Amino acid sequence: MEPDLEGELERLHPASFAWALGCCRRNREDAEEVLQTSYLKILEGRARFGGTASFKTFLFAVIRRTAGELRRRNFLRAYRLQGLRALESPSAGAANPEAEAQVAERLSALRAALARLPRRQREVLELVLSHEMSLEEAARTLGITVGSARTYYERAKKRLARMLEPRA
Amino acid sequence: MIPDTELRRLFGELRRTDGASAPSFHELRARARASDLGGRRNRSVRLVAALALVGALAVALSLLFPPRGERPGEVVTGSLSLSSWSAPMDFLLETPGRELLDSTPRIGVSPLEIPTADSSKETKGTER
């Protein structure tokens, strides 16, 4: 087991969990399962970091692939799809409860809007806007061309903006 | 239209919220290790069960259909039937008067009364 690899995984852990949540339609239980399987794959050498891209790109690609495998498995065991767990809200100190409630409301609107986007569009948008990846990195993570990633990104941004606009 | 900066801010907030609710890295690693051990144990149990099933099936099949080489009775019967084989048209060689050809002709004796080993004694007796 390489200590560097483990340290790198630990450093990226919060971002990885956020990405895993995005890949699992915000199902916390599935996200945890995906993340622990991804860590195992990497630490046991079943998924090898080639060094051609950044470690974050590699890790996010592994998480996405693992989430896809879990999705297929869950599709076969349809009963497991029942009962999506509600996302636990973080218990950070509430300095301004009113402002926090507003943020929570906007975030839940964002989550709802994201859920209505096609998967590829949602993934590109999350990688670029949430995880601060470039379009090239996002394309590499998703295994698509930069041109496709750009198209998905533009379409997703327009659709999301339309969905989040306050209705008159 | 929502500006890009606002979208980025919202997404940043989303990532922070999601990241903050992440389970501890070490706890997840420990769980992964435990589930891997359990998975390996399950895999080996399944492998052993599959091997046992295949073995039982092989034994059952060998009992039901023993290999040909292990049936001595059948081999002997086969070789016997080969040694006693005769052509289906063999009876055509059994011509009438064939016994004439099997014996030596003698002067003064009718060829139709050629004596066999037993009957020649009788003939000699009567002549006397």
Domain ranges of chain A: 1-80, 106-168
Q: Where are the domains of chain B?
A: 1-65
How far is Cα B116 from Cα A116, in angstroms, rounded to an integer?
116
What part of A 46-75 touches B (C-beta under 8 Å)? none
Using the Cβ of A25 and the Cβ atoms of chain B, whether some distance falls under 8 Å is answered with no
In 3-state terms, chain B is what percent helix, strand and coil (to 5)? Answer: 75, 0, 25
pLDDT value of residue B42: 76
Residue A116 DSSP label? T
Pick the closest to residue B35 from A34, A25, A100 (CA basis): A34
Q: Across chain A, what does the average pLDDT equal? A: 83
Q: How far is CA B86 from CA A77, B82, B90, B91, in A?
A: 70, 9, 7, 10
Task: Of A2-6, A29-33, A108-112, B59-63, give the lowest mean pLDDT range.
Answer: A2-6
Residue A154 confidence class, pLDDT cut points 50, 70, 90 = very high
Using the Cβ of A89 and the Cβ atoms of chain B, whether some distance falls under 8 Å is answered with yes
Q: pLDDT in tens for each of the 128 residues of chain B?
A: 677 788 888 888 888 888 888 888 888 888 877 877 767 777 788 888 999 999 999 998 888 887 766 555 555 666 667 778 888 888 888 888 777 777 788 888 776 665 555 555 555 544 44
| Average pLDDT of span A90-116 | 74
Cβ contact, residue pair B2, A14, below 8 Å: no
Partners of B33 on chain A (C-beta within 8 Å) are: 40
- Residues written for chain A: 168
Of B7, B28, B32, the CB nearest to A129: B7
pLDDT value of residue B127: 47
Of A10, A106, A130, the CB nearest to B12: A130
- CATH assignment, A106-168: 1.10.10.10
Cβ contact, residue pair B35, A15, below 8 Å: no
Residue A91 confidence class, pLDDT cut points 50, 70, 90 = very low
Residue A135 confidence class, pLDDT cut points 50, 70, 90 = very high
Of B14, B32, B33, the CB nearest to A130: B14
pLDDT value of residue B111: 67
pLDDT value of residue A90: 44
pLDDT value of residue B78: 61
With a CB cutoff of 8 Å and minimum separation 6, the contacts of A39 are: A9, B28, B29, B32
Task: Of A10-19, A24-33, A95-104, B95-104, give the lowest mean pLDDT range.
Answer: A95-104
pLDDT value of residue A121: 93
Task: Of A89-103, A147-161, B78-92, B113-127, give the lowest mean pLDDT range.
Answer: B113-127
Question: Looking at domain A1-80, which CATH architecture does it have?
Answer: Orthogonal Bundle (1.10)
Pick the closest to residue A125 from A91, A158, A77 (CA basis): A158
pLDDT value of residue A19: 92
pLDDT value of residue B69: 60
pLDDT value of residue A82: 54
How far is Cα B64 from Cα A43, in angstroms, rounded to an integer?
50
Cβ contact, residue pair A110, B23, below 8 Å: no
| Average pLDDT of span A38-59 | 87
